């Protein structure tokens, strides 16, 4: 069977959940035995989101091969449970970069380089490159909203794909908004009709409409949309606001989204086996405990900056029969004097990743509070480095201990490795993607993983400084995870603390709703035990 293609576009406004729709469809098709691969096109001119502000773009999701990608790839991986690569995240900048480099090499033989055919051909090449032997269906999400000038080359390219492929090989899914009038509560489909009209003007007739709404749509509205938008009534799919994120695939299955897609693509499949997924959602909705976790970071005004961390906490909460209540703490405003008040009542403290020196003193204050008050602590990337600095300052007595990323000091306990000293450009050399790690016998981490060697994803430039390794260990710090050559410190622990772990990598990128990451699971388990002990 040749590879089939599903294209997901959005209309009316952005932020309607195209990514969740694409991810949910991927899960449903996978549960039918279909081999799927997700892909995201973003209209911004940046080559990738790696150097974009978290306030502009949210988190940067890192794939196994080290690509810095859009956060929707995190949704794809969590829902579909398939590891993606950099080929799954393509921006306008990446497209133009490829075309311009080709033009400079003379590949176009002096031809005038234009949007059509050169840019659209490069977009199509990226789409067709996903059609590998082990892929039955490629699900490609087009970022932005129909009508945006930035999205037009992508829409023209997918129109061409439909024209080039045999009938039945391509399905267009459009995600518009059903508007509810304030006051009267009346549902209006006119914005959806106009959005589809805009898509038709570009030569694309949507096959399926996944209508985003806060309340269920009526049959009258469904028939009206089908009539005016030229689709079959059962192809108007209701996407009402779900109680939990992971309930969306179940609601989409109930609406028959996967059934319609399989019919349109001519796929003969069995019914999706959603028993385990349903059981996981039921556990999430019926969790009996509540645990409060302080997330101390520098980008807390935009929660999407820590999207995978939040989801990983929720995964671990579900596995521990607990709802995780996150207390967002801005590290820039946190001080040692205010830590007791602002962190009071939290059963766990987490400091996530980040770059730059803004807010680091607040993070160090949070680490000290967790260490001295025996509160479970989890440091991720920068959070692990802050734990090392705090230990050096307040346990070893090196008051000037810091990272060479922030200042020049006699105790740069976090520093560039020798082969990185010439790195000067932002976005230059970083440790990105998967790297192996050997876990120390008897360590908490090895017990949680249940393995001697693991692989985790990284995104950082600075490392634990080996010049201070011996003093740290004598002072009571355990180096629980090292690179196979023993050169890089990946995990630190404090054995005399109830639960204190710092990881140089980003475990949140590998957590799944039905398979929480071991370190997040252990952190929430310890936090729940702390909460229960405090309430007895």
How many angstroms separate the CA atoms of 473 and 302, rounded? Answer: 37
User: Annotated binding residue at 385?
Assistant: yes
User: Annotated binding residue at 442?
Assistant: no
User: Annotated binding residue at 72?
Assistant: yes
**Active-site residue (options: 315, 460, 506, 517):** 506
User: Annotated binding residue at 193?
Assistant: yes
Under a CB-based contact definition with an 8 Å cutoff, are residues 306 and 299 in contact?
yes
Which of 254, 189, 252 is CA-nearest to residue 17? 252
**Active-site residue (options: 59, 390, 493, 508):** 508
User: Annotated binding residue at 149?
Assistant: yes
How many angstroms separate the CA atoms of 99 and 105, rounded? Answer: 10
User: Annotated binding residue at 192?
Assistant: yes
User: Annotated binding residue at 103?
Assistant: no
How many angstroms separate the CA atoms of 95 and 152, rounded? Answer: 13
Under a CB-based contact definition with an 8 Å cutoff, are residues 3 and 170 in contact?
no
How many angstroms separate the CA atoms of 356 and 360, rounded? Answer: 8
User: Annotated binding residue at 150?
Assistant: yes
User: Annotated binding residue at 224?
Assistant: yes
User: Annotated binding residue at 359?
Assistant: no
User: Annotated binding residue at 530?
Assistant: no
Q: Encoding tokens for residue 377?
A: 């602590």
**Active-site residue (options: 315, 381, 458, 460):** 381
Under a CB-based contact definition with an 8 Å cutoff, are residues 91 and 45 in contact?
yes
User: Annotated binding residue at 285?
Assistant: no
**Residue 213: active-site member:** no
**Residue 394: active-site member:** no
User: Annotated binding residue at 390?
Assistant: no
How many angstroms separate the CA atoms of 161 and 138, rounded? Answer: 12
Q: Encoding tokens for residue 483?
A: 């690179």
How many angstroms separate the CA atoms of 479 and 163, rounded? Answer: 58
How many angstroms separate the CA atoms of 457 and 115, rounded? Answer: 36
User: Annotated binding residue at 384?
Assistant: yes
Q: Give the distance, in angstroms, between the CA of residue 456 and the centroid of all CA atoms in the same chain.
A: 15
User: Annotated binding residue at 14?
Assistant: yes
Sign of torsion, CA 37 43 46 52?
negative
Which residues are annotated binding-site positions?
Answer: 14-20, 55, 72, 141, 148-150, 188-193, 224, 242, 354, 382-385, 405, 461
Where in the sequence numbering do the catalytic residues fall?
A: 381, 506, 508
Which residues are annotated binding-site positions for UTP?
Answer: 14, 188-193, 224
Which residues are annotated binding-site positions for CTP?
Answer: 14, 148-150, 188-193, 224
Which residues are annotated binding-site positions for Mg(2+)?
Answer: 72, 141
Which residues are annotated binding-site positions for L-glutamine?
Answer: 55, 354, 382-385, 405, 461
């Amino acid at each position: 069977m040749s590879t089939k293609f599903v294209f997901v576009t959005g209309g009316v406004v952005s932020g309607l959940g195209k990514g969740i729709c694409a991810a949910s469809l991927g899960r449903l098709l996978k549960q039918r035995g279909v081999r799927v691969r997700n892909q995201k096109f973003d209209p911004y001119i940046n080559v990738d989101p790696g150097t974009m502000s978290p306030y502009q773009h949210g988190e940067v999701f890192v794939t196994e091969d080290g690509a810095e990608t859009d956060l929707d790839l995190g949704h794809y991986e969590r829902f579909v449970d398939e590891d993606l690569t950099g080929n799954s995240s393509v921006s306008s900048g990446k497209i133009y970069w490829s075309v311009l480099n080709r033009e400079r090499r003379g590949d176009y033989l002096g031809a005038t380089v234009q949007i059509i055919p050169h840019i659209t051909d490069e977009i199509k090449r990226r789409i067709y490159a996903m059609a590998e032997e082990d892929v039955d269906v490629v699900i490609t999400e087009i970022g932005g909203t129909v009508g945006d000038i930035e999205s037009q080359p992508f829409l023209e390219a997918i129109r061409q794909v439909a024209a080039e492929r045999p009938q039945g090989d391509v399905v267009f899914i459009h995600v518009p908004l059903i508007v509810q009038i304030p006051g009267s509560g009346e549902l209006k489909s006119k914005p959806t009709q106009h959005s589809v009209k805009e898509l038709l003007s570009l030569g694309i007739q949507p096959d399926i409409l996944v209508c985003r709404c806060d309340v269920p749509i009526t049959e009258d509205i469904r028939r009206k949309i089908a009539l005016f938008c030229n689709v079959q009534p059962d192809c108007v799919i209701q996407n009402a606001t779900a109680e939990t994120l992971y309930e969306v695939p179940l609601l989409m299955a109930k609406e028959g989204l996967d059934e319609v897609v399989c019919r349109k693509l001519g796929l003969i499949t069995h019914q999706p086996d959603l028993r385990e997924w349903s059981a996981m959602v039921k556990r999430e909705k019926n969790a009996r405990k509540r645990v409060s976790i302080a997330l101390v970071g520098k980008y807390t005004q935009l929660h999407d900056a820590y999207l995978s961390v939040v989801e990983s906490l929720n995964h671990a909460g579900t596995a521990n029969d607990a709802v995780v209540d996150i207390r967002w703490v801005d590290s820039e405003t946190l001080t040692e004097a205010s830590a007791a008040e602002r962190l009071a009542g939290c059963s766990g403290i987490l400091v996530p990743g980040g770059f730059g020196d803004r807010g680091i003193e607040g993070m160090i204050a949070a680490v000290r509070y967790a260490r001295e008050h025996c509160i479970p602590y989890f440091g991720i990337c920068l959070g692990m480095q802050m734990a090392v600095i705090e230990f050096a300052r307040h346990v070893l007595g090196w008051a000037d201990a810091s990272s060479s990323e922030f200042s020049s000091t006699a105790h740069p306990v976090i520093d560039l490795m020798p082969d990185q000293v010439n790195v000067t450009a932002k976005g230059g050399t970083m440790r990105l993607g998967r790297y192996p790690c050997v876990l120390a016998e008897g360590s908490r981490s090895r017990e949680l993983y249940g393995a001697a060697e693991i692989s985790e994803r990284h995104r950082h430039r600075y490392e634990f400084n080996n010049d201070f390794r011996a003093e740290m260990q004598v002072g009571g710090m355990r180096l629980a995870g090292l690179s196979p050559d023993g050169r890089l410190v990946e995990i630190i622990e404090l054995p005399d603390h109830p639960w204190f772990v710092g990881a140089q990598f980003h475990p949140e990128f590998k957590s799944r709703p039905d398979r929480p990451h071991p370190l997040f699971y252990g952190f929430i388990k310890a936090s729940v035990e702390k909460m229960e002990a405090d309430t007895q």
